[in-house]
Homo-oligomer: A and B are copies of this chain.
Amino acid sequence: MGFEQAWLSYEKREVSVQWAGIHMIYAEQKGRIIEHAATELQTAFAKITGKEPVLCLERPEKELNGCILLKQKNGLKEGGYHLFEREGALVIEAPDEGGLLYGAFELIKQLQLGNAYEGMDICKEPVMPLRMLNHWDNMDGSIERGYSGNSFFFDNDEILVDERIVTYARLLASVGINGTVINNVNVKDAATWLITDRYFEKLRQLSEILADYGIKLFLSLNYAAPVELGELDSADPLSEEVRAWWKERMKLVFTQVPNLGGFLIKADSEGRPGPFTYGRTHADGANMLAEAVEPYGGLIIWRCFVYNCKQDWRDYKTDRARSGYDNFKELDGTFRDNVILQIKNGPMDFQVREPVHPLFGALEATNQMLEVQIAQEYTGQQRHVCYLIPMFKEVLSFRTYAAETDDTVEDIVSGKTFKQTKCGMAAVANTGNDENWTGHDLAAANFYGFGRLAFEPSAQAEELAEEWIIRTFGEDKAVREVLLFILMNSWRAYEMYNAPLGIGWMVNPSYHYGPSVDGYEYDRWGTYHRADHVGIGVDRSHQGTGYAGLYREPNASMYDNPESCPDELLLFFHHMPYDHRLRSGKTVIQHIYDTHFEGVELVDEMVKRFEGLEGKLPDKAYQRMLERFHHQKEHSREWRDQINSYFYRKSGIADEKGRKIF
């Protein structure tokens, strides 16, 4: 299938005279990444300005005006860059090749945004050391929770290495992403064989393409590989034989695929194998693997998404939200230095609204990464628009009180709070082999925004959206205003017509799409709303599951008390009567009715404004989006009516405003 260039399409634009004057690119040092940085600059300037600058092999003697200079120079941290104008030349200085590449993309962005050339002076360092994508691609070509077509990494149990991978790498590098896990965390069948010679050659080729753009290739690993590959009878992490097997295996893997960054592991979770089988801890399991990859600088990224997925719905004591904390808190400090725990936002599972995971701030001596999901599994599956950066901003700015200052989630996963360097942020990717990469064209704003945010968390969600709009669709004012309005209202709208007040999970089982209030209510997944004719919500206070007490003070008290608990999380923490008055002054039931009617109205407004863009957007993109907007319009009504009807039928309390409920 063909593919577009997303925000790197480099359409020709009107540019100022100075930008048009760029005629030469010179890099002081040589190197494969630098070479790609220079070529990218050449292509971008040629396409946008209409004039192709020359790549110089020799340093220009004089007349630096109109020249782009790339120069390796110490001073900034890895991946940082300093971009500035001097005597008419644009200079990019960076301590390493990756920094120069990022500087080159920064320069291209400035050109695309039409910012001033003269006096330009931008100095940036990546805030998070690791900025990763996690693809849940299966080797048969399908994608778990994929909403943009099939995989472009795999088909029919083979690895694809083609032109699309190069564009993929450019897109990642352009937003600062420096690592990618290409296969599903649920490692089964052929994927178990990725660490065997069946796939080494293709993996090596793939890793080299990525390395050219400063990106490390990672793989998801099957914890039970020694058994499933048929070589051992056990995967006990304390068995000498097993440890020796992994050491031998990793030696082979890193010899054959030298650019490999390491492995991501989902163990003892939702049926995946892990150290529990042998009565061992997650630390035993992770450390065994970490020891095996350590000689090659490899990382072991271990997911904390471990819970009892066979809960009895009649059991009011077990609490899935607690499980990450209960499983990992006591292991703090016992992991090797090249192990990173990857912690989901939030503690349940990527709902439209959850509190921050209580492990953040609880783990003090363990490397940590934040896992978010830009694949819109529970947030409209790329048929609804849902710009997630505002949510991620809230999570990152949450104070954990693990320290006096510098104690936000951002501080922790940037390494600031506990002086760590192996940490960062990962997003479950929303890409596939659809022509536009992300199914919904607007979903690309999450792809873009995630990378930018991990590099520069201080960037505002609105600013990133605007950048993305201009880089993708050009400078038309109406386009910018309308798409910005849509993106910035989309998460709010989706939350409004979705499950209310932080309770989550009112979706059709397995698919996770579309409303089903009781869909997960009597199931085994630990996901309940406990609604009866009097009230709704899960009691996670000290009288209930005690989950609120897992936070540090003052967060613990704030959540524990329904009077101080934020409205938007009230039902996550408390079982409340429908006539309870929220801090907003509305009753719970009236809040449900109001938000559901208003959410749909907001969608209608979004769609109305979008339709005004006909002719101002590329026709193909407009039609793709229009079709999805029409669906969202209809489907948001389905959400509204099902949820309102369910609660009206159950509570018997009428809408104060007398609107139609079925």
Residues of A in contact with B (beta carbons under 8 Å apart):
313-314, 508-509, 515-519, 522, 531-534, 638, 641-642, 645-646, 648-652, 662
Known pairs A516-B519, A518-B646, A533-B650 / 5 extra A-B pairs, C-beta < 8 Å = A313-B662, A517-B518, A522-B645, A532-B652, A533-B649
- List B contacts of A642 (CB < 8 A): 522
Instruction: Pick 17 A–B contacts, CB within 8 A, sort by A.
Output: A313-B662, A314-B641, A314-B662, A515-B522, A516-B518, A516-B519, A517-B518, A518-B518, A518-B646, A522-B638, A522-B641, A522-B645, A532-B650, A533-B649, A533-B651, A649-B650, A650-B650
Query: Within the complex, what minimum Cβ distance (angstroms) separates A571 from chain B?
Result: 15
Closest B residue, CB atoms, query A534: B652
Among B314, B522, B533, B645, the residue within 8 A (CB) of A652 is B533
Query: Within the complex, what minimum Cβ distance (angstroms) separates A595 from chain B?
Result: 18
Give CA–CA (A646, B313) in the complex, Å: 12
Interface of A is mostly: loop
Query: Within the complex, what minimum Cβ distance (angstroms) separates A115 from chain B?
Result: 50
Give CA–CA (A540, B533) in the complex, Å: 27
- List B contacts of A518 (CB < 8 A): 516-518, 646
- List B contacts of A662 (CB < 8 A): 313-314
Query: Within the complex, what minimum Cβ distance (angstroms) separates A198 from chain B?
Result: 27
Among B313, B314, B531, B649, the residue within 8 A (CB) of A531 is B649
Closest B residue, CB atoms, query A661: B314
Query: Within the complex, what minimum Cβ distance (angstroms) separates A637 from chain B?
Result: 10
Closest B residue, CB atoms, query A641: B314
- List B contacts of A638 (CB < 8 A): 522
- List B contacts of A534 (CB < 8 A): 652
- List B contacts of A517 (CB < 8 A): 518
> Which of A515, A646, A649, A652 is most buried by chain B, counting CB atoms within 10 A of its CB?
A649
Contact present for B516 and A649 (CB under 8 Å): no
- List B contacts of A516 (CB < 8 A): 518-519, 522
Give CA–CA (A264, B272) in the complex, Å: 46
Give CA–CA (A516, B642) in the complex, Å: 16
- List B contacts of A641 (CB < 8 A): 314, 522
- List B contacts of A648 (CB < 8 A): 532
Give CA–CA (A516, B508) in the complex, Å: 11
Closest B residue, CB atoms, query A518: B518
Give CA–CA (A642, B534) in the complex, Å: 18
The 4 closest A-B pairs by CB, nearest first: A532-B649, A533-B652, A522-B642, A314-B662
Give CA–CA (A516, B520) in the complex, Å: 10
